[in-house]
Structure 1
Amino acid sequence: MKGSLLKRFKFLDEMGDIARFTGRFFREITKPRQEYEEFFRQCYWIGYKSLPLVGITALIMGLVLTIQSRPTLVEFGAESLLPSMVSVSLIREISPVITALICAGKIGSGMGAELGSMRVTEQIDAMDVSGTNPFKYLVVTRVAAATLMLPVLSNLSNAIALYGGYIGVNIRGHVSWYLYWTQVFNALSFGDAVPSLIKTFFFGFAIGIIGCYKGYNTKYGTEGVGRAANAAVVLSSLLVFIIDLIAVQISDLLNLT
């Protein structure tokens, strides 16, 4: 009983620490001077370096979804609806969430490990002593870059996944390029694309905050670095699903879907 209470208090204490960490991020990002050079460097590493993995996953995702959905639609004589169904499924839900999970694994763990290593080797303390603001240089730039680049990666993922759907449609049948994309865009609406785009900003922010928080507050030496990277992936992945659930409920209440 006592151990259960301690775990609950520890969980609540960590949630409070994350909230304070997030509040500090918003305070620091509004203060000059901004580290633009480091911000653009992080955009390159988070965005460009993640694109090959995201692109390959998106292509396979669109291809597999199309191939797996085709037999069911054929049974009901609705094979012509395949491009429309695949496009709505990918844009609304599958592509943004899968992209966020990939980034949680790659970016979140990378931030946790990198900042954790800097913490245990006292590089962050050295920056603080030398007069540099380590929080602004290390945390603000990474969180801002993740928030900005995840929507970009998600949009590219959407396009690549839809192209994978085109390949999948033509494996067992034949649909012209023009007809496929006409059906895709006719099936999509404002309520499909905009909520999907907006929630990716929150996905990126959550991944950046959790990855930086776990790395920045690493303890227990080199063993803590591995724990920080692992915890960053697990917690950020969980937050992606929670944010997605909240976004779906809000969209439903606003009749955007």
Structure 2
Amino acid sequence: MNTYLKNTFENTGNVSLFTLRFFKEILKPPFQINEFLRQCYAIGYKTLPLVSITGFIMGLVLTIQSRPTLAKFGAESWIPGMVALSLIREIAPVITALICAGRISSGIGAELGSMKVTEQIDAMEVSAINPYNYLVVTRILATTLMVPILVFYADLVGVFGGYVGVNLHGDINMTRYFAQVLESIKFMDILPATIKTFFFGFFIGMIGCYKGFNAARGTASVGIAANEAVVSASLSIFIIDMFAVQLTDILQ
């Protein structure tokens, strides 16, 4: 038990120092703009197909599942607003973030872990290149920026999936459907959901970089780093979402 507590406090301290170093290094020139743009492309653009399919299915399934219950009360006209609010407030941000945790955080952990094992990071230090600035700062900034964009895109695709789901058992034109969606959405529905996605992106990048950057020697540590990055990033998403929901409820 004492060993477990010791390891827990030690890991917490190491993560805190790693995070503080990020805020210190981000202010140091030069900023690796080319690497940052490359990471934005790899993290954002290459994740679009998966987010598109997932977002569409979320909206479609939520609409199909909700319709029979609402139909019993004659409230089928509420479907567009209900689906849009559910997606924007909770479902799309969390599911998209979990997808990013599985794809992006594990990829970063495996990539940096492999570089650590093959001593590429040590070689960068010997060559007077700041590996933290080049490898970590650019990836964390890219995830912090791209995850909210991916969530916003998933919202749009999910709402469109809801439109398709409504028309499977009914007939409503797109103009009327999206008018009902916009009528049901308020600014305070979008703002808290958007803010928490920046925290999702930050922790997805931070955890992936920390696990990979601090991987142990040996090829097996690469897989361990990738696995731990996914688990820790997914858990952090649920914890952040829990606090975000509580804070939003208090403010409203």
TM over 0.5: yes
- What SS does the aligned partner of 1:99 have? helix
Query: Is 1:222 matched with 2:219?
Result: yes
Correspondence 1:34-113 to 2 at 5 A? 34-113=31-110
2:23 aligns with one of 14, 22, 26: 26
Match of 1:115 in 2: 112
| Post-superposition CA distance 1:122-144 (Å, at most 9, x none) | 00000001100000000000000
- The TM-score with structure 2 as length reference comes to 0.99
- What SS does the aligned partner of 2:128 have? coil
CA separation in 2, counterparts of 1:57 and 1:129?
44
CA separation in 2, counterparts of 1:167 and 1:62?
9
Match of 1:245 in 2: 242
Aligned residue identity for 2:129: T
Match of 2:183 in 1: 186
Query: Is 1:173 matched with 2:170?
Result: yes
Count of residue pairs the alignment pairs up:
252
Kindly report structure 1 stretches of 4+ aligned residues shifted beyond 6 Å.
Answer: none
Q: CA deviation at 1:65?
A: 0.5
CA separation in 2, counterparts of 1:69 and 1:7?
45
Match of 2:199 in 1: 202
Aligned residue identity for 2:201: G
Whether the 8 Å contact between 2:143 and 2:202 is mirrored in structure 1 is yes
CA separation in 2, counterparts of 1:239 and 1:120?
26
Aligned residue identity for 2:43: I
Aligned residue identity for 1:186: E
CA separation in 1, counterparts of 2:5 and 2:48?
39
Q: CA deviation at 1:162?
A: 0.3
| Post-superposition CA distance 1:172-225 (Å, at most 9, x none) | 111111110011010000110111111100000000000000000000411011
Q: Work out the percentage of aligned pairs sharing the same amino acid.
A: 59
Whether the 8 Å contact between 2:116 and 2:217 is mirrored in structure 1 is no
Instruction: List gaps (5 residues or longer) in structure 1.
Output: none
- What SS does the aligned partner of 2:216 have? coil
Aligned residue identity for 1:7: Y
CA separation in 1, counterparts of 2:219 and 2:62?
42
CA separation in 2, counterparts of 1:8 and 1:103?
30
Match of 2:8 in 1: 11
Q: CA deviation at 1:12?
A: 1.7
- What SS does the aligned partner of 1:164 have? helix
| Post-superposition CA distance 1:21-40 (Å, at most 9, x none) | 00000000011110000000
CA RMSD, Structure 1 to Structure 2 (Å): 0.7
CA separation in 2, counterparts of 1:162 and 1:127?
46
Aligned residue identity for 1:110: G
CA separation in 2, counterparts of 1:25 and 1:229?
20
CA separation in 1, counterparts of 2:23 and 2:130?
15
- The TM-score with structure 1 as length reference comes to 0.97
CA separation in 1, counterparts of 2:137 and 2:160?
35
CA separation in 2, counterparts of 1:177 and 1:134?
50
CA separation in 2, counterparts of 1:112 and 1:131?
23
Q: CA deviation at 1:105?
A: 0.2
Aligned residue identity for 1:63: L
| Post-superposition CA distance 1:102-136 (Å, at most 9, x none) | 00000000000000000000000000011000000
